[in-house]
Chains A and B, each alone.
Chain A
């Protein structure tokens, strides 16, 4: 069984500042890792995913994440946030079968 821990429940950040959202996972097998974003009153949208290969993954809207196998982490970063990045962010892990396990989510609030 796999599980996901998002270490920060809320992250307030000023516009144009960098942001990092932390995600740790546990699994007994190789995993696939995902970050999803949920804008207010909307469904989930895939930001980026790690399947294999390069540990630095680039996604949409300027986000990137780094897979660290030894630390079982998949932290999400953006060098300069915008007001429009205000949203809920979910880290998710799959063991290659059908089931996705989601973290509790991190609320990012960007202030001017």
Chain B
């Protein structure tokens, strides 16, 4: 299975600033995903990031707030822009193994963001 790393592992930020989270995979994958996990809640898909195309955002999430880059098949970034305390969450990236057809996803360790 793919090994996924995220940077930073945690951060404390001031409101109004932006934070870029990096996701690195040890193998080439077609589909990468970004999730948000608000305190005490489940995972919510923010967007799907495919290499060479614009990210596809889920309802309630917009590119201006969560711009995503996917420059190659092993790397993606998620930016949380103009942060407010409501953005305090764990942000997780995941990948879908290209050889599998049933959506098994492997997750990174997450980035724990606190906005003051």
**Which residue of the partner chain, among B103, B108, B109, contacts A96 with CB atoms under 8 Å?**
B103
Contact A90 B42, beta carbon cutoff 8 Å: yes
Contact A43 B104, beta carbon cutoff 8 Å: no
* Number of residue pairs A-B, CB distance < 8 angstroms: 49
In the assembled complex, the Cα of A94 lies from the Cα of B96 at a distance in Å of 12
Total contacting residues, chain A, CB less than 8 A: 22
Contacts of A32 in B (CB 8 A): 102-104
Contacts of B109 in A (CB 8 A): 42-43
Contact size range, B: 20 to 34
Main secondary structure of the interface of B (DSSP, over half): strand
Q: B53 in the interface, Cβ–Cβ < 8 Å?
A: no
Contact A46 B106, beta carbon cutoff 8 Å: yes
Closest B residue to A51 by CB, please name it.
B102
The smallest beta-carbon distance between B90 and chain A, in angstroms, is 9
Q: Which residues of B are at the interface with A, using a C-beta cutoff of 8 A?
A: 4, 31, 33, 41-43, 45, 48, 92, 94, 96, 101-110, 112
